[in-house]
């Protein structure tokens, strides 16, 4: 059995799972150390690819290619990454901490 998550090309891949093992030699460098395959429901035909520390460059089309005993299936996914930035100054964090402490009754 082979499960291959790819972007626009079959090689290099985002993630490759072959005969029960992860195949790191075919993985795109930008996904190394950031992906995991959740296969606890593989007997039901369900797999999940996790991408940790998502980046805006991860946005786009993904394909899951599945092959077992000469039977091929494919699923397509469009992943949208939205960048969210929030910055606080130390004064805002101090004020927020004081407000929370006051609400909890720690400051009177």
pLDDT in tens, 64-93: 999 999 999 999 999 998 877 767 676 667
- Reported as a single tens digit per residue, the pLDDT across 5-59 is 999 888 999 999 999 899 999 999 999 999 999 988 877 878 899 999 999 999 9
Residues contacting residue 12 through CB under 8 Å, at least 6 positions apart: 26, 27, 28, 29
Query: With 60 as the cut, is the pLDDT of residue 108 above it?
Result: no
The domain ranges of the chain are: 2-83
Q: What span, in angstroms and rounded, lies between the C-alpha atoms of 45 and 50?
A: 17
* Fold for the domain defined by 2-83: Immunoglobulin-like (2.60.40)
Phi (first) and psi of residue 81, to 5 degrees: -110, 125
């Amino acid at each position: 059995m082979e499960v291959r998550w790819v972007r626009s090309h079959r090689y290099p891949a985002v993630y490759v799972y072959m005969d029960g093992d992860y195949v790191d030699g075919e993985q795109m460098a930008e996904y190394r150390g950031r992906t995991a395959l959740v296969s606890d429901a593989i007997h039901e035909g369900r797999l999940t690819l996790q991408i940790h520390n998502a980046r805006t460059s991860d946005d786009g089309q993904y394909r899951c290619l599945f092959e077992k005993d000469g039977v091929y299936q494919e699923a397509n996914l469009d992943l949208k990454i939205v960048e969210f930035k929030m910055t606080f100054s130390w004064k805002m964090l101090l004020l927020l901490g004081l407000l929370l402490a006051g609400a909890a009754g720690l400051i009177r």
